[in-house]
Structure 1
Amino acid sequence: MIEIKKGRYRARLASTPEDVRAAQALRGLAFRRARPGVDRDSFDALCDHMLIEDTRSGALVCCFRFLPIANGREISRSYSAQFYELSSLEGFEGRMVEMGRFCLHPDCTEPDILRVAWGAMTAYVDDTCVEMLFGCTSFAGTDAREYYDAFAVLRDRHLGPRRWLPRVKAPRVFRFAERLRRKPDLRAAMSRMPPLLRTYLMMGGWVSDHAVVDDQMNTLHVFTGVEIAAIPPARKKLLRAVVG
């Protein structure tokens, strides 16, 4: 049973239908501000849901979900497989987990929330012997021009290994590895890089060579993979320090 505390925040796995509904409500607040309501889909019933709560108020301040996958031969049943052609990963032999729907309450920005969230992710990966963490990592909005510097950095430094690289499947994509020719402004790039993606990259994560234009969620997203064995030892130590 995963339960992690730091300061006033606690992480735990959802254990009741009410817990899952609370996560769906927070997702709706975070992802669908223009269209209030819950955010739910058919994957919710297949996933483990992680909740980060304020122990003083009991409020849910962050949530995300995990879809366990035995190995690459099952990757076609992932959420990401709706948008990316992932047959290159079918040869991955180790256990995998897809992390998705990561969100924070819009009014909650305390650093301890993210520390507890990443500690909970680490504990889940360790407890389930996962060898690859993956998912779709989103940029707000669908105008790629706002993120040219960030995409140029991804092109230059963080493209996935050729043997695992996803191919295009979605009808609308931005092929940044092919189309961008600019030298990135590093400061501008990091200021526009989503915080979740920055953390993945610090863990040695890699991305697809294209971004999917997701009009339904009003985002651009890249497939992101983190091979657990490749996480730098110093980063592993920091992550596990939260777990205690």
Structure 2
Amino acid sequence: MHGDDLARSTQRFIKLLRPENAGAMAATAITWLKAPPYLPQPRKALRPFPAAPASLGRMGALEVRLATEKRDVRHAQKLRYRVFYKNGTAVADAATMLARRDKDGYDKICDHLLVVDHAAKPTLSGKQPVVGTYRLLRQELADRHGGFYTDNEFDLSGMIAQHPGMRFLELGRSCVLPRYRNKRTVELLWQGIWNYVRQYDVDVMIGCASFEGTDPDRLALPLSFLHHHAAAPEEWRARAHSSRRIEMNRMAKDAIDPKAALRELPPLIKGYLRVGAMVGDGAVIDYQFGTTDVLIVMPVAAIKGRYIEHFGGSDAPRHAA
């Protein structure tokens, strides 16, 4: 991409984040907050997945589905260990090193979204390898088991209390093997998430997204960019716990180089922003995983129509060659 093209592309992206632009992601979110048709409505009856969920989507040899048995979850945990600990910056304790799995108590109450490769060599257990995963926690389950994982870093109570008629879903533990980090895998994960969101009538998606590294001064540019251009309105601005809060506003708005800031945003965070997500107040350093975390807030009604059509416009999962 030539310099002029990059500059124009960057400016278009910045404009999408400005509330004054009707139809843009931030404006969509604010419009949704104010428009009467989107006020909380009475709950619909939940439509649970069948005992053995069907595929949530497929593209060529790649399939996205839910874990249906314990060994599926173990495969997801092994993938997370490989990405976070073996190849990443996370620091494993003795139990994690021995098990060679990233696991915690939340795994038992969460649903696990898996991307499997049917063209790859089966594992020793005869299963197709898991190459990508997301962990999904619905609010009704979190409420019965001590809250969301994200509550450890951010105070969600006020935000949830302000929206009592809405159902929240936490997205977490996202990871993909390096060779599968491409547009197809990401789109397939989003297709699976969107089908899950529709199945359970989810209103709001939340979760932590991470920058590599634990020095916020080295992340001053992207953190400040998010603070000035993607901050959630007050009704949605859950804050980092005061004991762990790191200030995101580390640079004046007019001192930010937007092109440089965009280059430093992790792909996952850029993807969230494109579909209409906002960020909370303050960041948190996670020393175990070697990351600096920000809160992502994504009301379903604020997601742009073209993404809804792309990822879940049909009642049936999309298949592609």
TM-score (norm 1): 0.92
5+ residue gaps, structure 1:
none
TM-aligned CA deviation for residue 152 of structure 1: 2.0
| SS of equivalent residue, structure 2 residue 178 | coil
Are residues 184 and 2 of structure 1, via their aligned partners in 2, closer, same or farther at CA, if it must alter by over 3 Å? farther
Question: Which consecutive segments of 4 or more residues in structure 1 shift more than 4 A?
Answer: 71-76
1:82 aligns with 2:152: yes
| SS of equivalent residue, structure 1 residue 32 | helix
1:22 aligns with 2:92: no
Structure 2 equivalent of residue 201 of structure 1: 273
In structure 2, distance between residues paired with 1:31 and 1:170: 27
Which residue of 31, 39, 55 corresponds with 2:118? 55
The answer to whether the Cα contact below 8 Å between 1:137 and 1:197 also exists between their aligned partners in 2 is: yes
In structure 2, distance between residues paired with 1:154 and 1:76: 30
In structure 1, distance between residues paired with 2:75 and 2:194: 23
Letter of the 1:80 partner, please give it. Answer: T
Q: Percent sequence identity over matched residues?
A: 28
Q: Which has the higher strand share?
A: 1
In structure 2, distance between residues paired with 1:109 and 1:228: 25
The answer to whether the Cα contact below 8 Å between 2:114 and 2:134 also exists between their aligned partners in 1 is: yes
Instruction: Please list the CA deviations of residues 176-227 of structure 1 after superposition, one character each: whole Å capped at 9, or x if unmatched.
Output: 13x3325222222122111111111111111112110110111000111100
TM-aligned CA deviation for residue 12 of structure 1: 0.6
Structure 1 equivalent of residue 251 of structure 2: 180
Matches within 5 A, 1:1-244: 1-3=53-55, 4-33=57-86, 35=92, 37-57=100-120, 58-70=128-140, 77-91=147-161, 92=163, 93-169=165-241, 171-177=243-249, 179-181=250-252, 183-240=255-312, 243-244=317-318
| SS of equivalent residue, structure 1 residue 77 | coil
Letter of the 1:181 partner, please give it. Answer: A
Specify the structure having the higher radius of gyration (Cα): 2
The answer to whether the Cα contact below 8 Å between 2:155 and 2:239 also exists between their aligned partners in 1 is: yes
The answer to whether the Cα contact below 8 Å between 1:76 and 1:86 also exists between their aligned partners in 2 is: no
Q: CA RMSD in A?
A: 2.2
TM-score (norm 2): 0.71
Are residues 129 and 238 of structure 1, via their aligned partners in 2, closer, same or farther at CA, if it must alter by over 3 Å? same
Letter of the 1:159 partner, please give it. Answer: A
5+ residue gaps, structure 2:
1-52, 121-127
Instruction: Please list the CA deviations of residues 20-57 of structure 1 after superposition, one character each: whole Å capped at 9, or x if unmatched.
Output: 00000000111112655211011000100010011111
Q: Which has the higher contact order (CA 8 A, sep 6+)?
A: 2
The answer to whether the Cα contact below 8 Å between 1:64 and 1:101 also exists between their aligned partners in 2 is: yes
